[in-house]
Amino acid sequence: MNRVFEFRAGAPVSVNDVLRNNFKMSGTIIKRLKNTENGITVNQKHARTCDILQPGDVLLLTLSEGRSENIVPKKIPFGIVFEDEDIIVIDKPAGVATHPSHKHFDDTLANGLMYYFAQKGEEHVFRAVNRLDKDTSGLMCAAKNAYAHYRLCGGLHEDFERRYTAIAEGEIERPVTIDAPVARCGDGILKRCVSEDGRRAVTHCTPIMRAGGYTLAELRLETGRTHQIRVHMAHIGHPLLGDWLYGREDRTLFPRTALHSSFMSFTHPVTGGRLEFSAPLPLDFQSFIASLQM
- List, by residue number, the catalytic residues: 133
SS3 88: strand
Amino acid identity at 111: N
Cβ–Cβ contacts within 10 Å for residue 249, how many?
13
Provide the 3-class DSSP secondary structure of residue 15: helix
What is the rounded CA–CA span in Å between residue 135 and residue 247? 14
Specify the length of the chain in residues: 294
Q: From the centroid of its chain, how far is CA 220?
A: 14
**DSSP code per residue over 39-53:** SEEETTEE--TTPEE
Angle between helices 27-35 and 146-154 (to 10 degrees): 170
Helix (H) or strand (E) holding 209: strand 202-211
Is 169 in contact with 129 (CB distance < 8 Å)? no
Contacts of 92 (CB under 8 A, 6+ apart): 78, 79, 98, 109, 132, 136, 137, 138, 139, 140, 261
Asked if residue 219 lies in contact with residue 203, where contact means CB atoms within 8 angstroms, the answer is yes
Residue type, 63: L
> Which of the 8 DSSP states describes residue 70?
T
Report whether 18 contacts 33 (CB < 8 A).
Answer: no
State the Cα–Cα distance between residues 138 and 62, nearest whole angstrom: 33
